[in-house]
Structure 1
Amino acid sequence: MKVSCGIDWASDHHDAAIVDNTGSLLAKARIDDTAEGLAELLQLLAEHGDTAEAPVPVAIETSRGLLVACLRAAGRPVYAINPMAAARYRDRHAVSRKKSDHLDAMVLANILRTDAAAHRQLPADTELAQAVAVLARAQQNAVWDRTQAANKLTSHLREYFPGFLAAVGVRREGVCHPIARTLLAAAPTPVQAARLTRAQLRSLLKKAGRKNTLDAEADRLHAALRLPQMRQLPLVEQAMGRQTLALLRQMEAACTSADDLAEAAVESFEKHPDAEIITSFPGLGTLSGARVLAEIGDDRSRFADAKGLKAYAGSAPITRASGKNMAVLARRVKNQRLAGVGYMWAFAAMSHSDGARAHYDRRREAGDRHTAAQRNLFNRMLGCLHHCLTRRVCYSETVAFPAPSDAQLTEAA
């Protein structure tokens, strides 16, 4: 690597520094976060040997933004350096702990000069894979927003309308269920709920999409909403009802966003050539498969082997050894989104794969807790996924979990 570039980014401008293989500063510039600024940066790189055949690598403290997207689209290797790592490198160049944007850009450039092999280049994912990543992550964010809004609404209802929670609590979705949302919009206070007739309840159930046993459900709600409960003062109760409608509108928006983004993520995911392989695994549907693809991408050179993928997902344990002391611990630094979908994947796989269930049971018998056994199963499934994606084959139960040999059965007995 003869020349390397470091960019200290900000919201409206960026500081760039170019150094040679001895660490000497060749050029520096402050560019705007505009098309003109990008052109100025590209011109600066071209003046110092940047070509299509040998592009100058760039280090920057983020993996997102228009500047990063344009540099990646132009075919330049971009390294996203963790800000905590960059802060520790800074002490190597200035023990006085001084700091400036120009110095930070030089530090980033020198990281590539000395330790490029220790850092991960941003993957060369296809345009479709990047689109799936945007939609899948946005959908997951919307789900988190929906959960937060539902928790706020539930907490608020406990303060003045616990009877409503008791009436709709039989449903797994709670206040997020369409019936609960429709009822609450029509009657946000205990007084209004108690005044609902069976005919009105039946109409609201129809509006919420209920088709079967309307009369029985209307009778149940009619009785449940009239049960005695503690009450706030009338004016206070009315004010809290208005607050409920405001919280309900926020939750409705989050529910709509989550549903719309889920549909868009699934639609894009199904167009990807890896979709058939990913969804062939037990426990992975189209939405969870889209989340997996969003985090691992489709650049097969990103992970040299399955171990790298497992470490990235946090399913592989980490060993800490010093002298005679050794501890094997769960990995904390990981891709949290991929780890989150991994637990759901492992839990669902146990219901659709006899081999996965047997693997989980063996780990439990060996002394693992539920979470550790799930993580171990996720680790096993990730290894199978890496194998299938690399060789372009679908999942096979007999290959992933082969039947034990006679010798193994005899030893176990």
Structure 2
Amino acid sequence: MATYTAGIDWSTLQNDLAVVDRHGRTIANARFEATPAGIKAVLQTLAGLRAGHSHSRRAVPIAIEAANGLLVSALRHHGQTVVPIAPSTVARYRGRLNPGHTKSDRGDASLLANILRTDGAAHRPLHSNSDLADAIGILTRTHLRTQRTRHYLNLQLRSRLRAVHPAALTAWAALPNNLLRPEARQVLVLAPTSRGAARLRKYAIRAALERGGRFRLLDAEAERLHSLFQEPVLLNTPAVEDALGIDVRTTVGLLDETCTALDALAEEIDARFLEHPQCGIYLSMPGVGPLTGARLLGEIGDDPGRFATGKGLAAYAGARPFTWESGSSRTVLHRRVAANKHLAAYCHRWAFATLTQSSECRAHYDRRREGGERYNAALRNLSARLLSCLHHCLSTGQPYDPAAAWPDRETAT
């Protein structure tokens, strides 16, 4: 047990620090701002807890209700052990120690320090990833948010076109990506309404298709769109149609910027991922490309001591069930709360992709389905198996080997 433990109750303006000894006595309190001077004051407080060469401020773990941010980054940069504790967990401790449910910033800082003092072994410190792995994680999360923004804008565009230009909803329906195609966006910017599309000439449509990057069958595609836009449809009044056309053109502009940002992010993610020393191991796994590998690396990290076993990694991804047992009742449930939801979603898609990329994965999935498991449960079991293989490969530094990963493949097929 550490001689001293510390807790920080953080806020946007002021932060409170409390340090307790092994008997729970508060021996230091300080209020500081999240500035270089404030961080220096915190480090001086921790260094001055005891005189002598045997004491080091880095031996004092700090509990805080945050896992990231400038304050956490600054403390870790100076070598402090930071232990994130969920606010819901702190609330339960507060009710246990304080039946009156009173709350203060200084009291919460002492409470956090005492949580580490009494139950420090139950709370894990922040893992130590490389800067490159953290950067990849930030970029992949940004890519995911941008994808969701693109999906939202695409739905908004479809809703607006239904009111002012219904022919555009069917113009590219048989082609991949539909309205997300660059050529579709170019044509919609040129004519966002039914009246405007009916007035388009074939050469204008052809030029818009060419600006959108299409180079095959330009004349035939321009003829098809021209004929489609000439068909009679219901029209709004001119004033209303002009306003709706501005709305469509604005939405298309936002969608175009989002698509461009996604392409740039994907290129940046690929470049950063290929620089990482573990990229070869990720790419050796079945169904893993640069983007999927970067997403897995960004969520798992590259701290070798973070997951002791493959089962622990699978549990972190929500792929391992947990058991609720009380008295004579025993229930096995899908792990939802104590899991990384982003990693769980990535692993679900990864397992699905392996069904056509790996005969061993397909055989495993089919065997689970024949045993009575549903689609999602079988995919979760497959992703748990894949994560165990990935953990072994990362621990040993060797690429994925189907013969070693599936020793029972002859009986599985």
| 3-state secondary structure, aligned to 2:5 | strand
**Which of 239, 243, 247 is 2:251 aligned to?**
247
Match of 2:208 in 1: 204
Aligned equivalent of 2:294, options 290, 294, 297: 290
Give a deviation string over 1:37-78, Cα, whole Å, max 9, x none.
Answer: 111111111112596585211111111111111111222211
Give the deviation of 1:264 after TM superposition.
1.2
Structure 1 counterpart of 2:75, one-letter code: L
Which residue of the other structure, out of 122, 128, 137, is the alignment partner of 2:126?
Answer: 122
Q: What do residues 317-351 of structure 1 show as CA deviations (whole Å, max 9, x unaligned)?
A: 12222333332221112111111111111111111
Distance 2:259 2:409 in 1: 47
Contact 2:46 2:57 in 1 (8 A): no
Q: What corresponds to 1:382 in structure 2?
A: 387
Which of 318, 322, 326 is 1:318 aligned to?
322
The yes-or-no answer on 1:337 pairing with 2:342 is yes
1:215 corresponds in structure 2 to: 219
- State the AA in 1 paired with 2:398: V
Q: TM-score, normalised by structure 2?
A: 0.94
Match of 1:393 in 2: 398
Deviations, residues 145-165 of structure 1 (Å, cap 9, x unaligned): 111221222222222222111
Q: How do 1:44-123 residues align onto structure 2 when only pairs under 5 Å count?
A: 44-49=45-50, 54-123=58-127
Separation in structure 2 between the aligned mates of residue 256 and residue 108 of structure 1, nearest angstrom:
45
User: Is structure 2 residue 186 aligned with structure 1 residue 185?
Assistant: no
- Going from structure 1 to structure 2, the CA distance change for 1:291 and 1:51 (only over 3 Å counts) comes to farther
Letter in 2 for 1:64: N
Contact 2:281 2:393 in 1 (8 A): yes
Contact 1:139 1:258 in 2 (8 A): yes
| Inter-CA distance 41–282: structure 2 relative to 1 (3 Å threshold) | same
TM-score, normalising length: structure 1? 0.94
Would you say the 8 A contact 2:57–2:80 is kept in 1?
A: no
1:216: how far off? 2.0
**Structure 1: distance between partners of 2:340 and 2:258:** 24
After the TM superposition, which of the residue ranges 367-376 and 385-394 deviates more from structure 2?
Answer: 367-376
Take 2:23 and 2:260, find their aligned partners in 1: how far apart are those partners? 55
Task: Specify the code of the residue in structure 1 equivalent to 2:163.
Answer: E
Match for residue 171 of structure 1?
175
Counterpart in the other structure of 1:271: 275
Q: Which moved more, 1:246-255 or 1:16-25?
A: 246-255
Structure 1 range deviating more: 248-257 or 268-277? 248-257
Give the structure 2 partner of residue 21 of structure 1: 22
Q: For 1:221 and 1:401, how far apart are their aligned partners in 2? A: 52
SS in 1 for 2:271: helix
8 A Cα contact 1:318 1:331, kept in partner = yes
Letter in 2 for 1:392: G
Aligned to 1:4: 5
Secondary structure at 1:328's aligned position in 2?
strand
Q: Secondary structure at the match of 1:283?
A: coil
> Aligned with 2:356: secondary structure?
helix
Name the aligned partner's letter for residue 217 of structure 1: E
Structure 2: distance between partners of 1:223 and 1:369: 47
Q: CA deviation at 1:117?
A: 1.4
Counterpart of 2:364 (choices 359, 364, 367) is 359
What SS class does the counterpart of residue 225 from structure 1 fall into? Answer: helix
Q: Are the equivalent residues in 2 in contact too, given 1:4–1:112 (CA < 8 A)?
A: yes
Q: How much identity, in percent, do the aligned residues show?
A: 43
* 1:55/1:75 contact within 8 Å kept: no
Which one is further off, 385-394 or 124-133? 124-133
Distance in 1 between the 2:382 and 2:401 partners? 16
Is 1:305 the counterpart of 2:306? The answer is no
Change (3 A) 1:51 1:251: farther
Note the residue ranges of structure 2 that are not aligned, 5 or more in a row: none
In the TM superposition, residue 27 of structure 1 has moved relative to its aligned partner by 0.8
The answer to whether the Cα contact below 8 Å between 1:129 and 1:298 also exists between their aligned partners in 2 is: yes
Encode CA deviations 1:154-177: one digit per residue, 9 max, x unaligned. 222222222111112223323222
Between the aligned partners of 1:278 and 1:200, the Cα distance in structure 2 is 47
What is the rounded CA distance, in whole Å, between the counterparts of 2:171 and 2:393 in structure 1?
48
How many residues get paired? 408
Instruction: Extract unaligned runs of 5+ from structure 1.
Output: none
Mapped partners of 2:190, 2:247: distance in 1: 14
How far apart are residue 390 of structure 1 and its match? 0.3
- Cα distance in 2, alignment partners of residues 55 and 179 from structure 1: 60
Name the SS for the 1:245 alignment partner: helix
Give the alignment's Cα RMSD to 1 decimal: 1.8
Distance 1:296 1:111 in 2: 26
- Matched position secondary structure for 1:204: helix
